[in-house]
């Protein structure tokens, strides 16, 4: 089985009235999504086996998934647990003010990082949400966890099929860490950095009487021209 983790294309975070809380894609982001769809659909058609497509409910993720759905004739399954880690509502905030918020956030100590933003989701809750969500989702495809879950070991994983997951930088980082059996960190998007409309691939392999996920590519953007590489 192969898991194909896609980060959404470039979002229009800033509108005429300031920051947008649930943005769609920029014109460049729409082009990225189309290029991604052409590349990924061609790759998926080369191999036999089922294809599943899960998507974050965020608008930027749904708009990224839409061209791929059209190419493959599939409907994306919205999964609430794939949403990015929650932040406060920044709607209407100016670009300089928003940049200052993120600069200050990066200077926080470890405990504050785990706590997340005030009145928003803490990063332990986020990590647990993603981990339990993917475990439950994979169970519907025939996977079962092993006692050695802390080592990323599964009793069984599907041998065939491709699971495409369209989500976010933080969600992708949390998924990769969890599937590899690594302890969570409060900055998964920094540990496993991915650009807009990038592709991360993990494949199952048998070991220790069970199976694990092996990381094959992280944040690949070879399907995009260099001038369309954004973060």
User: What's the pLDDT tens digit per position in 57-110?
Assistant: 999 999 999 999 999 999 999 999 999 999 999 999 999 999 999 999 999 999
What pLDDT does 151 receive? 76
Classify the phi-psi angles of 191: left when phi > 0, otherwise alpha if psi is within -120 to 50, otherwise beta.
alpha
Q: What is the mean pLDDT of the chain?
A: 95
Return the SS3 of 159: coil
Q: Can you state the angle between helices 169-179 and 123-139, rounded to 10 degrees?
A: 60
In the block, residue with structure tokens 């061609």: 42
Write out pLDDT tens, residues 117-170: 988 999 999 999 999 999 999 999 999 986 556 678 998 888 889 999 999 999
Residue ranges making up the domain that contains 65: 2-228
Write out pLDDT tens, residues 21-65: 999 999 999 999 999 999 999 999 988 789 999 999 999 999 999
Return the SS3 of 134: helix
Q: Where are the alpha helices (DSSP H) in the chain?
A: 27-45, 59-72, 95-106, 110-115, 123-139, 169-179, 188-191
Domain count, the chain: 1
Q: pTM of the entire structure?
A: 0.96
Tokens of 52: 């599943």
At 94, which CATH number?
3.40.50.1240
């Amino acid at each position: 089985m192969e898991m194909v983790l896609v980060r959404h294309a470039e979002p229009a975070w800033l509108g005429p009235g300031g920051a947008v809380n649930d943005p769609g894609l920029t014109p460049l982001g729409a082009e990225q999504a189309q290029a991604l769809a052409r590349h990924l659909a061609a790759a998926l058609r080369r191999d036999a086996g089922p294809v599943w497509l899960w998507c974050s409910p965020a608008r930027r993720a749904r708009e990224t998934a839409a061209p791929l759905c059209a190419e493959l004739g599939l409907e994306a399954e919205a999964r609430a647990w794939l949403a990015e880690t929650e932040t406060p509502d920044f709607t209407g905030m100016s670009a300089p003010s928003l940049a200052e918020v993120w600069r200050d956030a990066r200077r926080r100590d470890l405990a504050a990082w785990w706590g997340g933003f005030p009145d928003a989701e803490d990063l332990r809750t986020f990590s647990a949400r993603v981990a339990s969500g993917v475990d439950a989702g994979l169970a519907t495809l025939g996977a079962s966890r092993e006692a050695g879950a802390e080592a990323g070991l599964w009793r069984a994983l599907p041998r065939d099929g491709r699971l495409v997951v369209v989500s976010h930088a933080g969600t992708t980082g949390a998924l990769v860490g969890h599937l590899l059996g690594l302890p969570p960190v409060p900055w998964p998007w920094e540990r496993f950095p991915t650009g807009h409309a990038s592709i991360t691939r993990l494949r199952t392999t048998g070991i220790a009487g069970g199976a694990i996920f092996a990381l094959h590519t992280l944040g690949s953007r070879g399907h995009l021209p260099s001038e369309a590489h954004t973060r």
